[in-house]
Amino acid sequence: MPKYIPFTDAQKEQAASVDLEEFLRRRGEKLIASGRDKRLASDHSITIRGCEWFDHAAEQGGKAISFVKQFYGLSYPEAVSMLLGDDLCGSYPAAKEKAPEPAKPFELPPKNKSMRRVYAYLLQKRCIDREILNAFVRKKLIYESCESSKDGTKEYHNAVFVGFDEHGVPRHGHKRGLYTIGKSYRGNIEGSDPKHSFHYLGGDNTLYVFEAPIDLLSYISLHPENWQKHNYVACCGTSSIPVLKMVRQLPQLRQVYLCLDNDDAGHAASERMAALLKEYGLNAVWLVPQRKDWNDDLTAEQEIENGRSDLCQTFC
């Protein structure tokens, strides 16, 4: 049984206000910059800012005490004691109070004059079906951006996956770097509204849910039969917000297919979404890719097909 320690209200407040970035650094944890936040290298779903933390996979968060309880598996007295130090006088600094920054208005990056790089990347590198890509481009759901570096010496090109609201106004954008060597950039444009994440509405009573736009396109490329009739949404992560928006926007829904990644984060998100959907009276079926994600399945299938074609040319 945890030892009872009669903490004062001042000590509890002091512990809850500890600067988590400094606390974790002193304990040897590696942190990665993530916009205005810091992300744990050991668990990319957890971000911290000041004394606050949030787990984007579990969709929960709080202040320093709850973080230490969750991250280190400690009781409340143990967590408070760790944050206050051995003498319970506070060996870690308190997070500085920062004035809230004004929300940046959402704005899509400028378009490039052509779509050459986007088509080359999605067709050749990602093996997306050309007709399916054409359909999304015609609806202005995908385009190629062209942005200059701050010093004006470089240009950056990205595939931009756009999410529109019910009135056809763009509210969300997800950028994916088009470089095929090294790790390319990917992330949501600042000011994006998660309710209006990248999606396609066909109008029937089914909804297919994905983590990334490229996985959405990959699944359709693998299963193109009557795809235009179905509804699809890419959460651009594992948040349930885009899914619940679709549920409210599409009252005709009767069946939801959860097509998230085949990893621990994807499984946990699928379980969480299934429980939420049950509250709305909707049945959720898990569709799990054979490999990590649907693009891995698509590219692997394409390699097999290319191998068969090469073999046929050799012997025919």
Q: What is the pLDDT of residues 140-195, one digit of tens each?
A: 999 999 998 888 888 889 999 999 999 999 999 999 999 766 667 888 998 999 99
DSSP 27: T
Of the chain, the end-to-end C-alpha distance in Å amounts to 76
Other CB atoms within 10 Å distance of the CB of residue 101 = 7
**What average pLDDT does this structure show over 57-68?**
83
Using 50, 70 and 90 to split pLDDT, how confident is the model at 312?
very low
* Distance of alpha carbon 109 from alpha carbon 145, whole angstroms: 6
For 209-257, write each residue's pLDDT tens digit: 999 999 999 999 999 999 999 999 999 989 899 999 999 999 999 999 9
Which residues in 49-72 are b (16+ Cβ under 10 Å) and which e?
bbbbbbbbbeeebebbbbbbbbbe
- Residue 246: which of 190, 188, 200, 192 has the closest Cα? 200
Q: Locate the DSSP E strands across 7-133.
A: 31-34, 37-40, 43-49, 52-55, 60-63
Both structure tokens of 306: 């290319």
Rounded to whole angstroms, what are the CA distances from 141 to 90, 159, 170, 201?
52, 10, 9, 12
How many other CB atoms are there within 10 angstroms of residue 130's CB atom? 11
Whole-angstrom distance, CA of residue 14 vs CA of residue 193: 34
Res 102: pLDDT: 67
What are 25-49's pLDDT values in tens digits? 888 888 888 777 888 888 777 888 8
Of 102 and 49, more confident: 49
Q: Which domains does the chain have, with CATH numbers?
A: 9-84 (3.90.580.10), 116-303 (3.40.1360.10)
Strand order in the sheet with 186-188: 142-148, 155-164, 170-177, 186-188
Take residue 21 and report the two structure tokens written for it. Answer: 């970035």
Beta carbons within 10 angstroms of residue 150's beta carbon: 6
Measured between alpha carbons, how far is 82 from 46 in angstroms, rounded to an integer?
Answer: 20
**pLDDT at 202 (0 to 100):** 97
Confirm if 158 and 109 have CB atoms less than 8 A apart.
yes
